[in-house]
Amino acid sequence: MLFLHMSGNNAFGPKQILAQLLVPLAAVASQWVMRRKLKPEKPGLGRALRVGALTVLVAAVISSLSLMGLAAVAGEKALDLNRAEMLEIVRAQQRENPKVKRSEQEMQQQIRNVGNITSRELAGGNFTQIMLLGLALAIPAGIFLRE
């Protein structure tokens, strides 16, 4: 995310998913390292899942805290840029998705929510995304690497 910010991109926007993709790989790598260290003993399902989940949790906490730190350093101008980009995405989704019937009040509420988003809310969303994405791969990898 720091690289995105330094290169002039929106570090809080959709491009941060590229950094989030590293977390499941780190979880799988930690499970694989554990399996190699315990050889010839088998780690078992519980231990493999705990190592993967702990790796994902640590990575999610580090990522969320670094996002809050980056927001503090980058300042309100960077958050305003992110809000503008998110607003553009929300409006495009509202225009291009006619199957979902929303009232005018719901659409305005969604726009107000985007306009009032804080760095703490961004960090919370980042934490949730990383946990879900990380566990989605750590659980199957733990099952596979248990033997």
Number of structural domains, the chain? 1
Q: Is 32 domain-assigned?
A: yes
Model pLDDT, residue 147: 67
What the block records as the tokens of 47 is: 């231990």
Q: Is 83 domain-assigned?
A: no
Q: Is 18 domain-assigned?
A: yes
pLDDT tens-place string over residues 9-39? 666 777 777 778 888 889 989 988 998 888 8
Cβ atoms 52, 107 nearer than 8 A: no
Q: Is 137 domain-assigned?
A: yes
pLDDT tens-place string over residues 48-86? 899 999 999 999 999 899 888 888 888 888 888 888 888
pTM: 0.78
Domain containing residue 140: 2-74+119-144
Residue identified by tokens 């491009």 is 15
Q: Is 11 domain-assigned?
A: yes
Model pLDDT, residue 23: 87
Cβ atoms 79, 5 nearer than 8 A: no
Model pLDDT, residue 9: 67
Return d(Cα 147, Cα 113) in angstroms, integer.
47
- Closest by CA position to 54, among listed 74, 34, 83, 81: 34
Return d(Cα 6, Cα 8) in angstroms, integer.
5
Compute the average pLDDT of residues 93-112: 79
Model pLDDT, residue 56: 94
Q: Is 30 domain-assigned?
A: yes
Model pLDDT, residue 4: 67
Model pLDDT, residue 1: 66
Model pLDDT, residue 73: 85
